Structure 1
C-alpha cells in the first residue's frame, strides 16, 4: 500500500511540471507577432531605429565665372589741391572790417577784409594836388621855352637865357612825371587796403580780426583754390608701376560715402624708410558733400583693369574660426565641408580664388546649420 502511494506522488509531480511548461509556452507565443519569431522582430526594430533621415532641404548652386574689376587698395590723406595764403601788403594799418568766415565760398577779386585807409587817402590827395601844381608849372615852363627857341636865332635874347628856359621846361616835365608815379603808388596802396581773393575757392582758415594791426606778409586768410581736394594715397613701390594718370580711383572718407576721382600723377620719388610712394588723385567738388575734408585720413582703391574669377553668393560661404568654408553636395545628398580662399566682393557675390572646382555643387544658403557629413535633400533652385 505504501509503495502505491509513493508512485502516485511521483506521477502527480511530473504532471504539474508538464502543465507549467505548457502555460509558459502559451503566454510567450501570444506575445510574439504573427508570422515571425520574437528574435526576428527585435532585429527589425533595431534596424529601423538606425535609419538616418535628411537633416535639411537645400538649394545648390555652381560657381559662376565673371569679369570683375582688378583693384588695388590704399590709404592716404585728403588735402587741398593748392592752398593760397592771403595777407596784407601794407604795414601799420589796422583791420577795419572782416567780410568772410571759414567755409565761405568766394570768387576771384571778392573783398575779404578792409584796412583803415584814412592816411592812405590823405597821401593820395596830396599827390594829386602836387601833380596839378607841377602840370601848371610845366605849362609855364614850356611857354617860356617855346619863346626862347623862336627868339634864339634873332639875337633878342642871349644864349644863356634861352638855355635856362629850356632847362626849366625839362625840370618841370621831370617833376610832373615823378608826381604821377607818386600818385600811382598812393592809389595802389589805397587799393591794397581792400584785401581780395586771388582765385575762386573756399576759405579754410581765418586769423584776421577787426582792430588788429596788419603787417606786410602776415597771414590773414587761407584759401583752398577752386575748392579742389586731392587724395594722396600711399602704395608700395611694387604697385606704383600699375598706376597710370587718368585711371579711376575711389576714396572713402571716415563716415562718408565713396568718392570717385581721377589719378593726376604718381610721385617721382619713393619714401626711403617705408618704400611707399604717393599717388595724387583729383577729387570732384562733390567730395565735400560726401564728407571729405582736408586733413582727413581715407582708405580707397584703384581700378587697374578687369580679371576673371569664380563667384558664389555670399550666403554660400561660411566664416568659421577665421577661415572660409563652403559645403558641397554629392549625388547621394551627402554634404562635405570644403575650405576655400575668398577674394573680391561685389554686391551679393564673393570671389572664390582657391579650393573649389568650377563644376562643384554648393549649398546656396543656410550653411550655418550644416556640419561635415550631414545628409540633405536637394530641392529645385539655381544650378
Structure 2
C-alpha cells in the first residue's frame, strides 16, 4: 500500500512538471524562421480609436450683452380701499382674494339704518331753518321800507337785517350737514376706486368698521412688475427702456425698464430698477411676492462660441479638444468661458477660428487620444441605429418573458 502511494505521488509530480514546462516555454514570433536568417521587419500595429466624434469650427455671431440681477415680483401699484364712514357694521362682502374687479364695482356694503335716521333729523332741521329764514326775511324787508321814516329806529331796522343774515347762515349750515349725511350714506357701498385684482381682504361680515380702516388691497389693473436689485457697478449699462427677459413659473416674460430708483439701498448698496412686464397674449400676470432672477439686455457684442457639450471640466479648469492636422488625434486646449446662449458657450481666451472642435465626449479623451471623425449626419444615423437596436432587444426581452 505504501509503495502504491509513493508511485501515485511521483506520477502527479511528473504531470505538474510537464504542465509547467509547457506554459513556461519560450514563445517564438510567427515571422521568425528556424533557419537562422534575420526576420523581416513587422508592420506596426494600428492604435484603436478611443471615440467616434464629430467636429466643427467655432462660430462667431453677435450675442446680447446681459446684466443679471435678482429681485421681487410686486404690484405695479397697490390700491388700498378703506372705510370712509365709521361706526357701521359690514353687511355683505362681494369680492374675495384673487377676484378681478372693475372700477366702481361694489365690493362690500355697510349698514345704513342709523344714517337714514340722521338724514331724517337733518332734513327736519333744514326745514325749520328755512322757515325761520322766511320769517326773518319778511321782517327785514318791512324794516328796510320803514327805516326812512319815524315808524322804527335805525337800530331796530339793523336788528331785523342781522336776524335775517343769521337765519340764512342757519339754513346753509343745515344744508351742509344734510349733504354730509347723504355722502356718508353713499359710502355705505364700498366700491373699487380702480380696476384690479384683490390681493388681500380684511373685511368680514359683522365687523363694525372704524373710519379709515383698510378693508381691501388691490393690484391696480392686475399689473405686476419686477423690482430688480442691480449692483451699482453694473447700473451704468441699464437705462429706461432697456429690454428685459424675466423667467417666471409661467415661462419667460419680456419687459422694459420703466424707472430707476434715485438712491442705492443703505443695506446692500444695490439700486432698485422697476421693470414693467408684458406677458404673452392670453397669459395672466405672474404672482407677486416671488424672488426671481432676470436679464437686462444692454446691447450686442461679437462672441466666439462652441457647443456647450464641447467644454469639459478637468482639474478645476475648462478645456476643449481640437482635432490635429493628422485628422486622427486631438489636442486638449485650456479655455476661458463667459456668456451662454441656448446650447452654446462663448470662449474668451485665444482659440483659432479654424480649429476643429470635438462636439462631445471630451470626458473620455485625453491629450493625444486617437479618434474617428464622422459627419454629423453619420453620427445621427449611428445614434438612430443604436436606439433601434435597443428597442428591438427590449421588445424581444419582453416577448421572451
SS at match of 1:235: strand
Question: How many Å separate the matches in 1 of 2:189 and 2:284?
Answer: 35
1:75-130 per-position Cα deviation (integer Å, ceiling 9, x unaligned): 11122222232221222211111111111222332222111111111111221222
Question: How many Å separate the matches in 2 of 1:79 and 1:188?
Answer: 34
Question: How many angstroms does 1:202 deviate by?
Answer: 1.6
Question: How many Å separate the matches in 2 of 1:352 and 1:163?
Answer: 100
SS at match of 1:293: coil
Q: Which stretch of structure 1 is more off in the superposition, 101-110 or 173-182? A: 101-110
Find out whether 1:308 has 2:302 as its counterpart.
Answer: yes
1:274-332 per-position Cα deviation (integer Å, ceiling 9, x unaligned): 33222222223669946732211111111111111101223333345654332111121
Find out whether 1:277 has 2:271 as its counterpart.
Answer: yes
The structure having more radius of gyration, on CA atoms, is 1
Residue 116 of structure 2 corresponds to 121
5+ residue gaps, structure 1: 1-31
Find out whether 1:346 has 2:335 as its counterpart.
Answer: no
Question: How many Å separate the matches in 2 of 1:377 and 1:294?
Answer: 54
Question: How many Å separate the matches in 2 of 1:112 and 1:321?
Answer: 64
* Matched residue count: 348
Residue 228 of structure 1 corresponds to 223
Distance 1:233-1:37 versus aligned 2 partners, 3 A rule? farther
SS at match of 2:233: helix
Q: Which stretch of structure 1 is more off in the superposition, 222-231 or 160-169? A: 160-169
Residue 6 of structure 2 corresponds to none
Question: How many Å separate the matches in 1 of 2:170 and 2:283?
Answer: 59
Distance 1:144-1:271 versus aligned 2 partners, 3 A rule? closer
Find out whether 1:89 has 2:84 as its counterpart.
Answer: yes
Q: Which stretch of structure 1 is more off in the superposition, 151-160 or 330-339? A: 151-160
Find out whether 1:200 has 2:195 as its counterpart.
Answer: yes
Question: How many angstroms does 1:354 deviate by?
Answer: 1.9
Residue 183 of structure 1 corresponds to 178
Find out whether 1:328 has 2:322 as its counterpart.
Answer: yes
Question: How many angstroms does 1:212 deviate by?
Answer: 0.8
1:189-210 per-position Cα deviation (integer Å, ceiling 9, x unaligned): 1122222222222211111100
5+ residue gaps, structure 2: 1-29, 378-401
- Whether the aligned pair in 2 keeps the contact of 1:257 and 1:290 (CA below 8 Å) is no
Distance 1:202-1:208 versus aligned 2 partners, 3 A rule? same
- Whether the aligned pair in 1 keeps the contact of 2:33 and 2:39 (CA below 8 Å) is no
Residue 217 of structure 1 corresponds to 212
SS at match of 1:93: coil
Find out whether 1:261 has 2:255 as its counterpart.
Answer: yes
Question: How many Å separate the matches in 2 of 1:146 and 1:37?
Answer: 162
Note the 1:1-383 alignment, pairs <5 A. Answer: 44=42, 47=43, 50-153=45-148, 155=150, 159=154, 162-253=157-248, 255-284=249-278, 289=283, 292-320=286-314, 323-332=317-326, 333-380=328-375
